[in-house]
């Protein structure tokens, strides 16, 4: 039976971040995913500056353009601009590139049909859907919003799912390419975005409650901005909370979307996935007597607190849309009231 120091389930930003650091430290790491890479991933591909900064390698080859200005719409009468550095990428290219960097650290990658079961007697024993058995000291669940690892170990957790829909449409002259538009009037309890990539516009809507978002809402948003209707719309849930129990137990750590580490205000989670993946690796490397989960809980606590503050800000902000106040002012009031 194949045996590893660490098995990581899911090779997105969280899984690759954890695997990279563990591989670089000389651990024997197996990274499992149910997809072959490059693979499609529903995402706007807005990569925050903090991700570019915190990655262990340059992702310049897969960044299409950098945008430093966002247009914010909080009511139908006016819009305002804020400065924020965001790089734009295709997630298909970005995730594939990160996986290639990770494999260079000696990490092994294996495509599997899925996880059938995980036992924790005398270490971790994973049985794949294909019937293969794999052993490790620790498993890190980085398998996204509908995480199988989370369901196996925390079956009682009922995450709060947000949802986002997105589509690619052709460029058009009336949409400025040097800014991203965030329109909070597009949908209740969420927003619509328009961002110009290298050879198309990505347009989408995010709603904090997965039950109240329909493809028709995105079509309506697309028509509002006179964009061409897309042949295809894709979407996915985002785990934004209710992960009541802790994201770790003896031998099992959860990172990224699997743990609900996403920003409830925006639905973005690449930063949180990267940071929590790196913390998971750090916890494994620093653990004494195999107690990596306790170290991980210490490391992720500030991240969890930041997410909790963002949740309160999101409650405050979305309850006041449409708003006559400016975005910065509104956010400032939210932060004052919630801190
Ligand atoms: C439409 C949309 C737009 C978004 N736009 C942005 C954005 O612009 N910026 C931003 O920061 N965030 C965005 N997000 C959120 C972002 O995509 C996620 O927060 C981020 O991908 C989380 O990374 P992760 O590694 O935790 O999980 P994922 O990226 O979801 O990776 C999980 C991996 O696990 C694999 N997997 C799943 N189940 C199994 C299994 N049972 N066995 C093996 N492998 C498995 C999957 O194939 C996948 O490769 C968006 C989300 C959506 C839905």
Q: Is 148 in the pocket of ligand 1 (CB under 6 A)?
A: yes
The pLDDT value recorded for residue 289 is: 63
The pLDDT value recorded for residue 122 is: 85
CB contact set of 81 (below 8 Å; sequence gap of 6+): 69, 70, 71, 72, 179
- Asked whether the beta carbons of 51 and 16 are under 8 A apart, the reply is no
Question: How many structural domains are present in the chain?
Answer: 1
Measure 12 CA to ligand 1 centroid, in angstroms.
6
Is the model's pLDDT at 182 over the cut of 90?
Answer: yes
Measure 256 CA to ligand 1 centroid, in angstroms.
8
CB neighbour class for 131 (10 Å; exposed up to 12, middle 13-18, buried from 19): exposed
The pLDDT value recorded for residue 290 is: 66
| Nearest-CA residue for atom 50 of ligand 1 | 43
CA–CA separation, 147 and 92 (whole Å): 20
Q: Is 235 in the pocket of ligand 1 (CB under 6 A)?
A: yes
CB contact set of 171 (below 8 Å; sequence gap of 6+): 177, 196, 199, 200, 201
CA–CA separation, 97 and 99 (whole Å): 5
Chain segment 245-283, per-residue pLDDT in tens: 789 999 999 999 999 999 999 999 999 999 999 999 999
Q: Is 43 in the pocket of ligand 1 (CB under 6 A)?
A: yes
Among the ranges given (72-86, 139-153, 264-278), the one the predictor scored with the smallest mean pLDDT = 72-86
Q: Is 141 in the pocket of ligand 1 (CB under 6 A)?
A: no
Q: Choose which residue among 269, 273, 274, 281 to substitute to test ligand 1 binding: the one with the highest number of ligand atoms within 8 A of its C-beta.
A: 269
Q: Output the average pLDDT for the chain.
A: 95
Chain segment 82-129, per-residue pLDDT in tens: 999 999 999 999 999 999 999 999 999 999 999 999 999 889 999 999
| Nearest-CA residue for atom 2 of ligand 1 | 43
Is the model's pLDDT at 242 over the cut of 90?
Answer: no
pTM of the complete model beyond 0.85: yes
| Confidence category of residue 207, pLDDT binned at 50, 70, 90 | very high
Query: Is 26 strand, coil or helix?
Result: coil
Q: Is 277 in the pocket of ligand 1 (CB under 6 A)?
A: no
- C-alpha dihedral over 183, 185, 191, 193, to 10 degrees? -30
Measure 236 CA to ligand 1 centroid, in angstroms.
9
Q: Is 263 in the pocket of ligand 1 (CB under 6 A)?
A: no
Q: What percent of the chain has pLDDT over 90?
A: 90
Is the model's pLDDT at 55 over the cut of 70?
Answer: yes
Q: Is 185 in the pocket of ligand 1 (CB under 6 A)?
A: no
Measure 284 CA to ligand 1 centroid, in angstroms.
23
The pLDDT value recorded for residue 244 is: 73
The whole domain housing 318 covers 2-338
Q: Supply the CATH number for residue 283's domain.
A: 3.50.50.60
Q: Tell me what the mean pLDDT of segment 46-73 comes to.
A: 97
Q: Is 257 in the pocket of ligand 1 (CB under 6 A)?
A: yes
Task: With residue 190 as reference, give the H or E element that holds it.
Answer: strand 190-196
Measure 165 CA to ligand 1 centroid, in angstroms.
13
Q: Tell me what the mean pLDDT of segment 287-311 comes to.
A: 91
Q: What percent of the chain has pLDDT over 70?
A: 99
Taken as a whole, the chain contains a residue count of: 339
């Amino acid at each position: 039976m194949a045996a590893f120091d660490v098995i990581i389930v899911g090779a997105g930003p969280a899984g690759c971040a954890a695997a990279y650091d563990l591989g670089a430290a000389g651990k024997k790491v197996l990274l499992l995913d149910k997809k072959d890479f490059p693979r499609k991933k529903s995402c706007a591909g807005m990569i925050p500056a903090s991700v570019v900064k915190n990655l262990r390698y340059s992702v310049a080859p897969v960044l299409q353009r950098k945008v430093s200005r966002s247009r914010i719409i909080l009511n139908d009468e006016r819009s305002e601009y804020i400065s924020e550095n965001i790089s734009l990428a295709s997630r298909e290219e970005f995730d594939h590139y990160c996986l290639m960097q990770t494999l260079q650290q000696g990490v092994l990658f294996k495509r599997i049909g899925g996880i059938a079961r995980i036992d924790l007697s005398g270490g971790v024993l994973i049985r794949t859907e294909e019937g293969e058995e794999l052993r490790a000291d620790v498993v890190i669940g980085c398998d996204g919003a509908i995480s199988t690892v989370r369901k196996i170990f925390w079956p009682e957790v009922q995450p709060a799912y947000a949802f986002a829909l997105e589509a690619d449409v052709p460029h058009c002259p009336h949409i400025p390419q040097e800014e991203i538009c965030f329109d909070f009037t597009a949908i209740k309890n969420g927003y619509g975005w328009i961002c110009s990539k290298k050879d198309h516009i990505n347009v989408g809507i995010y709603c904090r409650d997965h039950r109240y978002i329909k493809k028709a809402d995105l079509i309506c948003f697309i028509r509002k901005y006179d964009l061409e209707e897309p042949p295809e719309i894709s979407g996915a849930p985002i785990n934004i909370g209710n992960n009541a129990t802790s994201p770790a137990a003896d031998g099992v750590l959860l990172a990224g979307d699997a743990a609900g580490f996403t920003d409830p205000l925006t639905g973005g989670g690449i930063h949180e996935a990267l940071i929590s993946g790196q913390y998971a690796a750090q916890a494994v490397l620093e653990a004494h007597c195999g107690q990596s989960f306790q170290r991980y809980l210490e490391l992720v606590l500030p991240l969890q607190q930041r997410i909790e503050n963002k949740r309160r800000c999101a409650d405050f902000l979305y309850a006041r849309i449409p708003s006559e106040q400016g975005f910065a002012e509104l956010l400032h009031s939210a932060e004052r009231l919630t801190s």
